[in-house]
Amino acid sequence: MESENNYRSLENPTEDIYTAAVRLRVQMLNGEPRGSVLHTKLKTLLVKLLLFICGALVAAIVLLVIYYFITIKNEDIAVTRQQNDSFMEQELRILQSEIATLSQRNTELSTKLSALEKQCSALEKSSQSQTCSMCPQGWLLLNSKCYFFSSNKLDWDSSRDNCTSMRGHLVIIESEEEQNFLQNELNRNGLESYWIGLTDSAVEGHFVWVDGRPLDSRLSFWGKSRDGKLQPDNWNQNGQHPNGEDCVQLHMKQNYTGWHDVFCSRLRKRICEMAAKAITFNMRP
C-alpha cells in the first residue's frame, strides 16, 4: 500500500525539481545552511594551509641537508684535512729527526768499524769467524801489541809505575819494525823525548828491560851525542850526578835520534805497552 503511494507521488510530484533547487538556494541565502558551507570552506582552507606548511617544512629540511653537505660537511672535511696535515707534518719532523740521529749513529759506527777493520786486518779471518786484536781507547795497535803515548811528563820511576797502573809497562823494544813504528809516531807527535823501559840503575853498564830481560846488543838503537859519540855515555854533568845517567829515553832530534841514557829524575813523556786483547767474532748470522 505504501509503495503504491510512493509510486503515485513520483508519477505526480507536488513540486518540480527546479522549484526544489530554488528553494534550497533561498534557504542557503536565508542563512540556515550558510554556516555549514563556510565551515566546509574553512576546513578546505586549513587543509591547504597545512599541506603548504608541510611542503615548506620538507623543502626547508631538504635545503638544510643540502646546505650541510655543501657547506658544513666541506668545513668538516677541511678541518679534518688540516688536522691530518698537521699530524703528518709532525710525523715528518719526527722521522727527519730520527733519520738525522740514525745518520749520525751510522757515521759513528762506520768510524768504529773502520778502526775495527784496521785492528782485525792482520789476524785470522775466515768465512765463519774473525779474530781481532783490541786495544783500549787511546792506544795504538801494532802486531798484537798496544802502545800509549802520554801527553804529560813524569820522571822514569813514576812513568814506570804509571804504565803498570794501566796494566801495561814501559815499552820494551824487540825489533827494528817496532823501533821504526815508535819513531814514526813520535815524528807525528812533535819530535819530543819519551821514556822507554830500559835502565842500568841496578848495575852500571848492564841494561835491562822492565821485565828483567837483559838488553840484546844486536837489537839496540842507540843515538849519538852532540860530540858524535854513541850513547850510552853515562854522563855525570861534571860530577854533579855521581851515579851518571841510568834511564833510557827515545830521543827524536835530527842527528841525535835514537836511545839516550839520561838522568832518571828528568821529566819526560812516556810510551807504555801492553798485549792486545784477542777477540773472536762469529761471522755466521
Piece in contact with Ca ion (CB under 5 A), picked from 14-22, 66-74, 186-194, 236-244: 236-244
200 contacts Ca ion (rule: CB under 5 A): yes
215 contacts Ca ion (rule: CB under 5 A): no
Residues in binding contact with Ca ion, number by CB under 5 A = 10
Q: How far is the CB of 153 from Ca ion (least distance, A)?
A: 18
Q: How far is the CB of 175 from Ca ion (least distance, A)?
A: 23
Piece in contact with Ca ion (CB under 5 A), picked from 51-59, 104-112, 200-208, 213-221: 200-208
Which of 155, 157, 174, 233 is the binder for Ca ion (CB under 5 A)?
233
Q: How far is the CB of 207 from Ca ion (least distance, A)?
A: 8
Which of 144, 220, 234, 257 is the binder for Ca ion (CB under 5 A)?
234
Toward Ca ion, which CB reaches closer, 181 or 256? 256
Which residues, in sequence order, are CB contacts of 33 under 8 Å at separation 6+? 24, 27
Q: Residue 214 has which C-alpha cell?
A: 837483559
Site string for Ca ion, 24-63 (x = CB under 5 A): ----------------------------------------
Q: How far is the CB of 219 from Ca ion (least distance, A)?
A: 19
The full DSSP string for the chain is: -HHHHHHHHHHS-SS-HHHHHHHHHHHHHHTTTHHHHHHHHHHHHHHHHHHHHHHHHHHHHHHHHHHIIIIIHHHHHHHHHHHHHHHHHHHHHHHHHHHHHHHHHHHHHHHHHHHHHHHHTTS-B-SSEEEEEE--TT-EEETTEEEEE-SS-B-HHHHHHHHHHTT-EE----SHHHHHHHHHHHHHTTS--EEEEEE-SSSTT--EETTSPBP-GGG--B-B-TTSPBSP----TTTTSTT---EEEEE-SGGG-EEEEE-TTS-BEEEEEEEPEEEEEE---
Q: How far is the CB of 202 from Ca ion (least distance, A)?
A: 10
Piece in contact with Ca ion (CB under 5 A), picked from 54-62, 83-91, 108-116, 260-268: 260-268
Which of 246, 247, 252, 273 is the binder for Ca ion (CB under 5 A)?
246
Distances (CA, A) of 35 to 29, 30, 38, 218: 11, 11, 5, 149
What is the bridge-based pairing of β-strands 194-199 and 269-275?
Answer: parallel
Q: How far is the CB of 232 from Ca ion (least distance, A)?
A: 5
Toward Ca ion, which CB reaches closer, 139 or 156? 156
245 contacts Ca ion (rule: CB under 5 A): yes
Q: How far is the CB of 113 from Ca ion (least distance, A)?
A: 45
Piece in contact with Ca ion (CB under 5 A), picked from 18-26, 64-72, 239-247, 266-274: 239-247
Residue list 157-196, contact with Ca ion (CB under 5 A):
none
Pick left, alpha or beta for residue 10 (phi over 0 → left; psi -120 to 50 → alpha; otherwise beta): alpha
Contacting positions for Ca ion (CB under 5 A): 200, 231, 233-235, 244-246, 260-261
